[in-house]
Structure 1
Amino acid sequence: MNEKEISEIRRRFRPEKNNISFVRGCCVNEKREIVSEFEQSLLTSSQEETENILTTLKRTLSGTLGKNLMDIEFATQQVVDSEEHHLLMALRDSGLKDEDAVRAFYQKAIQSIDLEGNYLILLTYDVYDVPYRSKDGEKLEDADSDVFSYVLCSICPIKMTKPSLSYYMSENQFHNCGIDYLVAAPELGFLFPAFDDRSTNIYNALYYSRNAAEIHTGFIDEVFRCEPPMPAPQQKETFQSLLEEALEEECSYDIVEAIHEQVSDMILEHKVNKEEEPLAVSGRAMKGMLASCGVAESRLETFAEKYDDTFGKDAVISPQNMIDYKKFEVKTSDVTVQVNPERLDLVETKVIEGTKYIIIRAEGDVSVNGVNIHID
């Protein structure tokens, strides 16, 4: 799914936009025991409650593609004949009314979720009459529409409040407030099936993790039986290691700066052009960037081999998982310097009488600990 398709589904989670009539789920304690099950109608809930429930569910479709939101791909054989895919289809096709399927899903989720404390497993079902849009994005009211039915799952921690003193204005008195249980934002969840090319794709699911560094691989393995994607922070660390190991002594400041600038330009151009498809870079493209920096052919081949071995042959990764285009850092064991990515020309490295130096050209005011200083 791309950002535009995700936004289209996110807009469904408004009281006037969706066909969601209920939310169901269960409460799980720290011993992995279901302490209660529930099904709450949104048709009889107050407007404020309905809006809060929909807002909580909608957060499962938030974050950055490639970091918080990841595509889960099923193999063809899984779609044809696998327990995990059949279970997800049963949830969707029954509109969450298949009790055996719902309870089987609860058990799969509970066995694999590694959250501390109590949490909720929330499930909801929606049917979307997808309006036809022309190539220029115009909505055509008279054209036929597709129907996209899907299940959204949100796993939400429950935070227990502490007893406190509260002032009630209507009574003009103080009273003790007891312990209460608050539903926190989703920690993980998914949308199934995926909404690709604005239509149903049962070969994919959209997976969400609030923490990009901890994507709950156990849950992915148990529920989807798919190879979990590499977390975004790990992709960045892996890419950095690839450069160091492949280039060795050729890994200079100038090359890292040039790679940062090229990848940054790619990201910014993608944003300016408002391209719908997620931006991704292949190992071949990275090899081309390194070649433009003058890296020796033998080093390029080493990089290409290590890239394929680490990420997979023909694998692509998000450029935003490779670098932080808003930040440029020069660091030694004792000093860290933050550089405006648009002014990398101010920094250079030199060896003077056998000693390595990082040289920063000072332009404009210079301050130390917030104090403006003069350099004679």
Structure 2
Amino acid sequence: MNKKEVLEIRKQFSPKNCAITKICGCYVDYEKNKKMESKDAFLALPEEEAFKYFDIFKKTLSGSIGKNMLNMEFPLDAEMPGGTQEFLLKLRDSRLEDDMLLEEFYDKVIATYEYAENYYIILIHAAYDVPGRTSDDLEMDDASDEVYQHILMSICPVSLSKAGLSYNAEENCIQDRIRDWIVDKPDKGFLFPAFNDRSTDLHSVLYYTKKSEDLQPEMIDQLLGAKMPMSADTQKETFQMIIEDTLGEDGDYETVRNIHETLNDMIEEHKEEPDPLTLDKTDVKKIFEQSGVPNEKMENFEKNFEENAGEKATLLASNIAETRKFNIETPDVVIKVNPDRMDLVETRMIDGRQCLVIPVDDHIEVNGINVRTMKVKGVAGPKAGGSGEAVENAEDDIVPFDED
């Protein structure tokens, strides 16, 4: 699913567009005991309660594609009789009316979801009457192409509210606040079937994770049985290893900077597209070549890529690029640069040492204090008989660093 398709489903979580037929819930304590189960017609819920559920469902379809929302496909064995996809299909087709299927579903979640505290499993069934669209992408409300039947699961941690004091309006006094068990925003969830090309895709599922590094592989394998892609964090680490292995020990700052600038330019050009920018081995190779990686270094590129990522692996540009920050670190100094102004930092040999040089034409701020410039100590100016050439870098911030 791309962001436009996700947005179309999210829009259904409102009173005007609501297509939810049934909502089921199971409250689980820290010992994995089922403490409460419920099953209701969604439209029968009180309005204020329904709005809070809408917020949870919208959050389950939020974040970045490829980072928080992962498109996963079912392998062939998952679609065979007795497979995980067949079970999910039965659950959807039952419209959540089959109590035995619901109990089996809850048991699978409880057995595989790793969480040490209380949580609330929410499962809904919805039937979205997909409107047709004209050639210029305008919706035709009276021309439906199909009914998209789906289930959505959200797993929400449940935590005890903080202790404190509160004002009692009836008694007109300050008193100890009653501590309640609060349902938090979802931690995990999924949408089945996926809504690809604005249509039902029984071969795919959209998986949600609040933390990109915490995918919970066992739950994905046992509950969904879908192929799990590399997490966003793993993709970033993999890309860094490909750069390091390709450039070797003598990789230079300018080349690494060029790679990230090329990536950011590609992301900027692609930002209006609904599908995320995906890069395969050939795409990454072109980025390296355009960024000035020497030909002799590129001789082993394909080997480095396959050893780190896999021959047919793809990486999402948004997962491997730094679009919001660009950090330069030495053992004792960390420099944070606006990614749009990476050109401000350059390397230069000064007094036999390799240094990072940053022009400071504007003001400098030290611990929140504005200072005009830096004093250069021990440098003789023209009045003292010196040539004055040594002060040419007085308006630059110079950070020495070693080769390694």
What TM-score results when the alignment is normalised by the length of structure 2? Answer: 0.88
Counterpart position of 1:328: 326
Counterpart position of 1:187: 187
Deviations 1:52-88 (A, max 9, x none): 1121122110111111000111123422334211110
Counterpart position of 1:35: 35
Post-superposition, which runs of at least 4 consecutive aligned residues in structure 1 deviate over 4 A?
none
Amino acid at match of 1:374: T
Counterpart position of 1:270: 270
Paired residues of 1:76 and 1:203 also in contact (CA < 8 A) = no
Taking the TM superposition and a 5 Å limit, the aligned residue runs for 1:191-340 are 191-271=191-271, 274-340=272-338
Q: What secondary structure, in the 3-state scheme, does the structure 1 residue paired with 2:51 have?
A: helix
**Greater Cα radius of gyration, structure 1 or 2:** 2
Q: What secondary structure, in the 3-state scheme, does the structure 2 residue paired with 1:55 have?
A: helix
Partner Cα distance (1:340, 1:106) in 2:
47
Counterpart position of 1:53: 53
Stretches of structure 2 lacking an aligned partner (at least 5 in a row): 375-393, 395-404
Deviations 1:73-121 (A, max 9, x none): 1123422334211110011111111222211111111111111210011
Deviations 1:16-43 (A, max 9, x none): 2122133112111111121221123333
Partner Cα distance (1:82, 1:135) in 2:
41
Q: Say which is worse superposed, 161-170 or 131-140, in terms of deviation.
A: 161-170
CA gap 1:189/1:144 in 2 versus in 1, 3 angstroms: closer
Partner Cα distance (1:260, 1:240) in 2:
11
Partner Cα distance (1:108, 1:235) in 2:
29
TM-superposed CA distance for 1:289, in Å, is 1.5
Q: Say which is worse superposed, 343-352 or 203-212, in terms of deviation.
A: 343-352
Paired residues of 2:72 and 2:206 also in contact (CA < 8 A) = yes
Q: Say which is worse superposed, 320-329 or 309-318, in terms of deviation.
A: 309-318
CA gap 1:253/1:82 in 2 versus in 1, 3 angstroms: farther
Amino acid at match of 2:342: L
Q: How many residues align?
A: 374
2:366 paired residue among 365, 368, 375: 368
Percent identity between the two aligned chains? 36
Counterpart position of 1:160: 160
Partner Cα distance (1:41, 1:82) in 2:
29
Counterpart position of 1:128: 128
Paired residues of 2:92 and 2:125 also in contact (CA < 8 A) = yes
TM-superposed CA distance for 1:163, in Å, is 4.5
Taking the TM superposition and a 5 Å limit, the aligned residue runs for 1:6-25 are 6-25=6-25
TM-superposed CA distance for 1:158, in Å, is 0.3
TM-superposed CA distance for 1:170, in Å, is 4.0
What TM-score results when the alignment is normalised by the length of structure 1? Answer: 0.94
Partner Cα distance (2:44, 2:368) in 1:
58
Counterpart position of 2:151: 151
Partner Cα distance (1:335, 1:176) in 2:
48
Paired residues of 1:243 and 1:303 also in contact (CA < 8 A) = no
Deviations 1:267-315 (A, max 9, x none): 11112xx212221111211111212233244532423223223323232
Q: What secondary structure, in the 3-state scheme, does the structure 2 residue paired with 1:143 have?
A: strand
Partner Cα distance (1:88, 1:298) in 2:
52
Partner Cα distance (1:255, 1:246) in 2:
11
Partner Cα distance (1:311, 1:257) in 2:
22
Partner Cα distance (2:291, 2:43) in 1:
61
Paired residues of 1:162 and 1:178 also in contact (CA < 8 A) = no
